[in-house]
Amino acid sequence: MSGDNNSFIASGSDLMRRAMQNRRLIPDVSHLKPIIDELPAGSVVCEVGCGAGGITLDIAQKYPHITVLGMDVDEESIKLAKEAKEKAETTNIRYVHGDACNLDKLIQVEGFEALDGGCDLVYSHASIMHTGDQPAAVAHMRKATKPNGTTSLKEGDMGLFFAYPENPGMKRWLETFPTLSLGKGADPYIGRKLVSLVLGAGFAHSQLKDVSMSGQMQWRPQVKPGMVMGFGQIVRQSELGEDDKKLIVEGLEEWSKYEDGVVCFPSVIVTAVKEA
Ligand SMILES: C[S@@+](CC[C@H](N)C(=O)[O-])C[C@H]1O[C@@H](n2cnc3c(N)ncnc32)[C@H](O)[C@@H]1O
């Protein structure tokens, strides 16, 4: 990872980058589907903090008549996204390395001129919380959106995470996860502040079109080992004490074996339409 405004806690983890590559329009940002369905040919959609590009590639493939732009501060993720796009032979998508807090710098890059207030839809998914300067990033998203265009954010709120059954290790993990992010400059509680951030970026209250919650439940046995591996990596690389690390890693492993084990990562969605 590179860039000053990146506080993503799993930065540098290839495991995490590849997990992001498995994300899709449905189910991860299904609230955007009705908006994209209505976009005419030639429209431009941009994901801010696109990671390794699972969602952007899926949108580009499903909507060949629109152009999809993806940007991320992590060069390695952008490299993976470009490789996947080449492999899929998808031509209506472009990726660039950059900082969401200085999005307008990318206007100079060939193919990214639409960031100068010409995008029909600018969205984020689980990325603005990690940017280090969230108000600046949201203001840039609004600036990149064209009049009558849409800005949409879906960001988590780590204060709302829950798991069942909650063994002592899992309980400790749910308490610890937000504080690890805070330590790096992320805002783990951004979900509840999204309306405030969007208004602060210049949208009027009457321009808010959707303010809702989406709770992703993880319950399938096949996803649990990957989750435990990813979280385990974050825990091992953290500055937690050895006793805490052991308690959490063992708790996660035990939880992954419960047939009735669930964990929920709620996100808040805020969508606004810019004035004409
Ligand atoms: C949890 S990942 C989500 C990736 C993608 N949106 C997805 O849902 O698959 C968070 C992403 O935010 C990116 N990020 C963090 N700070 C950023 C910044 N200042 N500008 C652009 N991207 C940033 C990270 O590099 C990482 O790829």
Residue 121: which CATH number?
3.40.50.150
Q: Is residue 200 part of a domain?
A: yes
Q: Is residue 83 part of a domain?
A: yes
Q: Walk along the chain (276 residues) and give the pLDDT tens digit of each residue.
A: 334 566 666 666 787 888 889 999 999 999 999 999 999 999 999 999 999 999 999 999 999 999 999 999 999 999 999 999 999 999 999 999 999 999 999 999 999 999 999 999 999 999 999 998 999 999 999 999 999 999 999 999 999 999 999 999 999 999 998 888 776 778 999 999 999 999 999 999 999 999 999 988 899 999 899 889 989 988 998 889 999 999 999 999 999 999 999 999 999 999 999 998
3-state secondary structure 219-245: CCHHHHHHHHHHHHHHHHHCCCCHHHH
CA distance 6 to 99: 8
Determine what percent of the chain is predicted with pLDDT higher than 90: 82
Q: Is residue 243 part of a domain?
A: no
Q: Is residue 255 part of a domain?
A: no
Q: Is residue 76 part of a domain?
A: yes
Structural domain that includes position 109: 14-158+186-216+267-273
Look at the chain and report how many structural domains it folds into: 1
Q: Which residues line ligand 1 (CB under 6 A)?
A: 3, 5-6, 8, 20, 23, 49-51, 54-55, 72-74, 77, 99-101, 125-127, 130-131
Q: Is residue 103 part of a domain?
A: yes
Tell me: the pLDDT tens digits for 146-188? 999 999 999 999 999 999 999 999 999 999 988 887 767 789 9
Q: Is residue 226 part of a domain?
A: no
Please check whether residue 63 is in contact with residue 36, taking contact to mean a CB–CB distance below 8 angstroms. yes
* The two three-digit tokens of residue 193, written as one number: 């502040």
CA distance 113 to 79: 21
Q: Is residue 235 part of a domain?
A: no
Give CA angle at 53 (51, 57), nearest 5°: 165
Q: Is 185 exposed, middle or buried (0-12, 13-18, 19+ CB in 10 A)?
A: middle
Nearest to residue 158, comparing CAs of 171, 135, 137, 175? 175
CA distance 194 to 212: 11
Residue nearest to atom 13 of ligand 1 (CA): 49
